[in-house]
Structure 1
Amino acid sequence: MLSQIAASEDLVFFRPHQFLTREHDRPEALYDILEGWACRHRLLPDGRRQITALYLPGDLCDPMWSLAPTCHEPVIALTNVRATRKSLVDPSTIDRHKGFSSRLAESVERQSNWLVSLGRKTAVERLAHLLLELFERMRRAGLAYGQQCALPLTQTDIADATGLTAVHVNRTLQSMRSKGVLELHSKWLRIPDLGALRDLAALGPHDAL
């Protein structure tokens, strides 16, 4: 871990595919993501992958580490990641961390939403929900520009987050693009009508993302 620390002892950098933590590791710190995207995932014995969480700028990776002695799933960088390191060795660090409780609650609520999406929603609804969620999270982080934001996920990443095949994701995204509800170009997402995408995601007017 010390080898990953850059100019400041609190600033860390990760390259794509580098582990922020491995399965069964005992985490010594949380990471406040400043730039870049990472994911938590679980591999089945045959190599199939399910992404169980995505970490974007403004996210804390991972609030749940403060409650468990070890990590049950690995976290890897999907892009170059820059983050600040929040020590778990000194519990007062977490007590002083601004908004820790609310970010923990957001993490739990997001997992509940993903569970509903995977268990009950159609392919179109799952994709619409995921893309809308990612856009809203980027917007809250001040990284959306008008109706668009960066989307560095591959179609395989999207498939592994939504429980679909990459082929199904490709076909469904093509259908959504042809209907004009979203645009994807050069790792950028544009949503012309947020209300229309919310409807497509089977989200009610008061459902949070």
Structure 2
Amino acid sequence: MLSQVAEGENQVHFRMHQFLARENEKPDAMLYVQEGWACRYRLLSDGRRQITALYLPGDYCDPQWALGGVASQPVVAITNVRALRLPCRIPSHAGFDGHNGFWQALSGMIERQANWLVTLGRKTALERVAHLLLELFERMRQAGLAYGQQCAMPLTQMEIADMTGLTPVHVNRTLQSMRARGLVELQSKWLRIPELQALREVAALTGQDMAA
């Protein structure tokens, strides 16, 4: 994806819980995530949080910065993050091979958000959590970071709740049910999915969901 960006001088590191961008900032660069996880979110007036995007290795954070120039929502590191700074004058920057990486990232983000609108509006708690875990596994696999049927999964139950619009208690019960049914295994910040097809059926996924 990236061919002409010098890693040394453009590489940046963020500690867990450090802001990659604050709300209404005007970032002078996008970030290409090489290692670690981050999230974009919106806070309500009473402190409730909705996570609106997750950034995993191989993701651009955030393609919208190149189009609007402003971080409309804050982005914070879930784990320690290592990333490359890329100038926001996209899509003409020479560091992008044919600009395909940028447009694919933007298209994928839009498609995932459309899928999550359906998930949050119509799916049950079980379907929501199953959808999230499958999406994360597939994205990690595409990044070459899944090993067999397992991958890193550093999200806490609170973060899963903030992503799925559930309470932490509801997430806990849902995960217990999924474990009891043999659908997932979660241990030491790792996710294992014994039977992918079984979890896809539980998540009520369509072909379009996983295409994103």
TM-score between the two structures when normalised by the length of structure 2: 0.91
Distance 1:76 1:121 in 2: 27
**Shift, 1:89, TM fit:** 5.1
**Shift, 1:204, TM fit:** 2.3
Alignment match, 1:60: 60
**Matched residue of 1:24: which SS?**
coil
Distance 1:135 1:170 in 2: 19
Distance 2:12 2:207 in 1: 39
Alignment match, 1:20: 20
| Count of aligned pairs between the two proteins | 203
Change (3 A) 1:72 1:183: same
| 8 Å Cα contact 1:30/1:61 also seen in 2 | yes
Deviations 1:69-128 (A, max 9, x none): 311100000100001110115763278345211111001001101111111110000000
Alignment match, 2:156: 154
Alignment match, 1:132: 134
Alignment match, 1:4: none
Distance 1:140 1:21 in 2: 26
Alignment match, 2:4: none
**Shift, 1:13, TM fit:** 0.3
| 8 Å Cα contact 1:129/1:198 also seen in 2 | yes
| 8 Å Cα contact 2:39/2:54 also seen in 1 | yes
Distance 1:90 1:163 in 2: 33
Q: Unmatched 5+ residue regions in structure 1?
A: 1-6
**Matched residue of 2:9: which SS?**
coil
**Matched residue of 1:26: which SS?**
coil
Distance 2:83 2:95 in 1: 19
Deviations 1:46-86 (A, max 9, x none): 10000000000011111111111311100000100001110
Alignment match, 1:79: 79
Distance 1:14 1:99 in 2: 23
Q: Unmatched 5+ residue regions in structure 2?
A: 1-6
**Matched residue of 1:47: which SS?**
coil
| 8 Å Cα contact 1:88/1:94 also seen in 2 | no
Distance 1:113 1:206 in 2: 8
- Work out which of the residue numbers 108, 118, 121 in structure 2 matches 1:119: 121
**Shift, 1:12, TM fit:** 0.5
Distance 2:111 2:66 in 1: 17
- Work out which of the residue numbers 179, 182, 185 in structure 2 matches 1:180: 182
Distance 2:44 2:174 in 1: 25
Alignment match, 2:109: 107
Deviations 1:9-35 (A, max 9, x none): 210100011111000001111111000
| 8 Å Cα contact 2:91/2:102 also seen in 1 | no
Distance 2:57 2:129 in 1: 21
Distance 2:121 2:9 in 1: 42
Alignment match, 1:49: 49
TM-score between the two structures when normalised by the length of structure 1: 0.93
